[in-house]
């Protein structure tokens, strides 16, 4: 029979455009958030993190925004490149110090 799997959100952009990937988290007690990038056949790779006492953090071409009021996290990628094509995961850390809970992921496709 047909298998049922996660239906990942997808985002398709043109090279050079800015991309915004969104994530809703569940635990209001979470104090630390990370964005990971996973390319096909590879393990997740750290992009940027943010603590709950901040609402914005910038890296190289990436910005993470945190809105604790609505439990929303976003990743902005400036001047998106074909090499940015991947699945992007947000992760949150709650009460258990070492444990990260990952979101389902968003597929980003960048067209040349």
Distance CA 86, CA 106 (A): 8
By C-beta, is 69 or 96 nearer to another protein?
96
Of the two residues 13 and 100, which places its CB atom closer to another protein in the complex? 100
We find the least distance from the C-beta atom of residue 38 to another protein, in angstroms, to be: 8
How near is the Cβ of 76 to another protein at its closest, in Å?
20
Q: Taking the alpha carbons of 16, 49, 90, 58 in that order, is the dihedral positive or negative?
A: negative
C-beta closer to another protein: residue 3 or 69: 3
Residue closer to another protein by CB (options 15, 94) is 94
Give the shortest CB-22-to-another protein separation in angstroms: 16
Look up tokens 């993470």; give the residue: 64
| Coil, strand or helix at 82 | helix
Beta bridge partners of 29: none
Kindly list the residues in this chain that would bind another protein in the complex (CB under 8 A): 3-6, 32, 34, 36, 41-46, 49, 89, 93, 96-105
What are 26's two structure tokens? 């569940």
């Amino acid at each position: 029979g047909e298998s049922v799997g996660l239906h990942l959100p997808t985002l398709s952009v043109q090279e050079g455009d800015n991309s915004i990937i969104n994530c809703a988290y569940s635990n209001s007690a979470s104090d630390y958030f990370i964005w990971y990038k996973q390319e096909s056949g590879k393990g997740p790779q750290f992009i940027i993190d943010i603590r709950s006492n901040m609402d914005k953090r910038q890296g190289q071409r990436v910005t993470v925004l945190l809105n604790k009021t609505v439990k929303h996290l976003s990743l902005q990628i400036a001047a998106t490149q074909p090499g940015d094509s991947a699945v992007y995961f947000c992760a949150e850390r709650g009460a258990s110090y070492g444990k990260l809970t990952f979101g389902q992921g968003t597929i980003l496709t960048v067209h040349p």
